[in-house]
Structure 1
Amino acid sequence: MRKPELEFHEPPADWQKTNGDAERGIWEQILAADPLSGDSTLLQRYEPGADTIASGVIVHDYWEEVIILSGELTDVTLGKTFTPGMYACRPPGMPHGPYRSGGGCSMLVIVRPESEPSM
């Protein structure tokens, strides 16, 4: 199965909190997803003052691409703040974060599970 075929439309208005109480103030809206592979495209929103500091450094077992659409996001470990138009491409196992956003931000996130190389 693949992500569904979707022409331009208003995404559903249902935003969900991410990762429980440790990341209070962080929301996501799934735009398209393949439930079998885990391949997904979503919007992620940090409310002003939201952070992931309590969760520590983040490491995934999937590819993640992120572009900041609005606001600002600070990587606490790097001591750097990222702004609209900045892009990240993270392979499985790449450490990043934790993050905080003083004024809030919104991002487009693409998640793609690592697949076995084809021969």
Structure 2
Amino acid sequence: MPIVKEHLEFHVPDMSTGWRLPAGYSGGAQEKILAGSLDEANKRGHRTRLLKLDPGTFTKAPFVHDYWEEVWLVSGDLIVGNDAEGNGGENFDVAAYACRPPGAWHGPFKSVNGCILLEMHYYDETPKA
């Protein structure tokens, strides 16, 4: 049975609470789940979250996961493809978008001034014939 997201009408989320360190990140990154849940063990579900990178935060290695991911850069700056020391990469400002299928390697990531990303993660739950 698929996991269903809750029905949420327009509201203003409390941006001062509910942030936590996301899996796969060290300090400088926090996520806030807006809706849904992702069951990675059973490869089911849908999740919408905000990901916040503090100024100067960077990851050192590319990421890969087994679910779809759509990302919108809401505010700040994001550098994609830096090295393990945080150098290099391609710089993006607000209104940048990515859509990645399961198994697509991406990153590493860096933000000079900090950023907020809106991310949607989901498994393809189309019944198999």
The letter for the 1-side match of 2:46 is D
More strand by share: 1
CA 1:35–1:97: 2 relative to 1, 3 Å: closer
- Retained in 1: the 8 A contact 2:65–2:102? yes
Residue 35 of structure 1: CA displacement? 5.3
Structure-2 residue corresponding to 1:5: 7
1:84 aligns with 2:94: yes
- Retained in 2: the 8 A contact 1:23–1:50? no
The letter for the 1-side match of 2:112 is G
Residue 113 of structure 1: CA displacement? 1.3
Aligned equivalents of 2:50 and 2:111: distance in 1?
A: 16
Query: Sequence identity of aligned pairs in percent?
Result: 41
Residue 65 of structure 1: SS of its match in structure 2? strand
- Retained in 2: the 8 A contact 1:17–1:26? yes
Residue 46 of structure 1: CA displacement? 0.3
Structure 1: gaps spanning 5 or more residues: none
- Retained in 1: the 8 A contact 2:4–2:45? no
**Number of paired residues?**
116
Q: Which of 60, 65, 79 does residue 65 from structure 2 map onto?
A: 60
Aligned equivalents of 1:34 and 1:27: distance in 2?
A: 16
TM-score, reference length from structure 1: 0.86
The letter for the 2-side match of 1:111 is H
1:28 aligns with 2:31: yes
Instruction: Write out per-residue CA displacement over residues 54-98 of structure 1, whole angstroms, 9 at most, x where no aligned residue.
Output: xx1111100000000111111116820111001000000111111
1:35-54 equivalences under 5 Å are 37-53=44-60
- CA-based RMSD of the aligned residues comes to 2.0
Range that drifts further, 106-115 or 70-79:
70-79
TM-score, reference length from structure 2: 0.80
Aligned equivalents of 1:35 and 1:108: distance in 2?
A: 15
1:106 aligns with 2:116: yes
More helix by share: 1
CA 1:105–1:5: 2 relative to 1, 3 Å: same
Aligned equivalents of 1:45 and 1:86: distance in 2?
A: 15
